[in-house]
Amino acid sequence: MHRIGYLLKEGFQVMALGTQTVFEFANVVAREQFYQVSNYSLEGGDICTSQGVTVKTLAVGDGSESDSWMISGVVDPTLRPTPANELAFIKRAARHSRRTVGLCTGTFSLGEAGLLDGRRATTHWAYIETLKQRCPTARIEVDHIFTIDGPIWTSAGLTAAMDLALGMVERDLGPQVATATARVLVMDNRRTGGQSQQSELLKLAPKSDRVQIALEYARKNLSQPIRVDDLARAASLSPRQFGRIFQSETGQSPAKAIEQLRLEVARNMIERGIHPLEVIARETGFRDRSHLREVFVRECGVTPQSLRREARNSAPD
């Protein structure tokens, strides 16, 4: 059994508790009680979330109660330095646990405890620059949804913590259980850590239903050639109308937006390391492996091989 302890503090972000659902349903999928989840605080008793919901907690012990410790964050970590007794506990817990996890702004507590020195880490995009200042010896990943550096795991905003939790399930129980768990949770796509904190569909931020429908059509058909005529037909517009509306709403041409969607999906597949690059190129609509490499170097500044190597090197033992 793998024991997971959540260290909660007054005013913690209630979505941190949502990640517990990942472990709950991983147990269901695996048909065994592999994970045991408990809520802790320094003194025990009732802890109030940022929304005013009260959660009952156990008092922490000597740091050896859990195999993985999940350290919660608060809404604005710049206003509240981590108390000394909490930092002392986090340091002890890290010595006795298999993983120490910073959920969203909980990464700040790990940094203040010295656990990020020389390590890769991330947090919510709004606090990246502050984290860099607070942890000058850490290697802060500006736009990753979560990072893994040995026993230290950190996530961006708390929906990204769901992906991190699934990453833990994959390491513990394998990719099949993680994928099945994501399906039970009706997660649209199980993301690895290297994705941008802002998805391409979110960045495009279309205002009309018609453009959203066209983008959804593109996302589902990336392996096929996608012409403006196809997108216009999906949106029930003429090609000329569609091109004008698309540019107005997203600030990009349809061709450029489709290329970015292809890159995002390809990056996910590359980092997961399951398929050869030839298959990834074909499934995401690039002509061949060389075309995939050409676009990656131009848009991302790295080759697909380098990205895959980095993902493998960052994986825990």
Task: Quote the pLDDT of residue 194.
Answer: 47
26 lies in the same domain as 76 = yes
Amino acid identity at 190 = R
Q: How far apart are CA 44 and CA 214, in angstroms?
A: 51
Domain that holds residue 258: 199-317
Looking at the fold, whether 89 and 229 belong to one and the same domain comes out as: no
Q: Is residue 191 part of a domain?
A: no
CATH number of the CATH domain containing 277 = 1.10.10.60
Distance CA 145, CA 155 (A): 6
Element (H, E) at 158: helix 158-173
List the structure tokens of 197.
């904190």
What are 39-72's pLDDT values in tens digits? Answer: 999 999 999 998 889 999 999 975 558 999 999 9
Last residue of a domain, one of 157, 184, 211: 184
Task: Residue count of the chain, please give it.
Answer: 317
Q: Is residue 115 part of a domain?
A: yes
The pLDDT value recorded for residue 198 is 46
Q: 124, 105 in Cβ contact below 8 A?
A: yes
Residues 169 and 20 in one domain: yes
pLDDT on residue 230 = 94
59 and 167 housed in the same domain? yes
pLDDT value, residue 251: 85
Q: Look-up: residue for tokens 């904190």?
A: 197
Q: What is the mean pLDDT of each run of 10 residues along the chain (317 residues)?
A: 95 91 96 96 93 92 80 84 92 94 94 95 90 94 85 88 91 90 78 48 69 88 92 93 89 88 85 85 92 88 83 59
For residue 158, the model assigns a pLDDT of 75
Question: Same domain, yes or no, for 36 and 115?
Answer: yes
Q: Which of 159, 184, 209 is the last residue of a domain?
A: 184
Q: Report the pLDDT value the prediction gives residue 314, as an integer from 0 to 100.
A: 57
Residue 13 counted as domain residue: yes
Residues 31 and 178 in one domain: yes
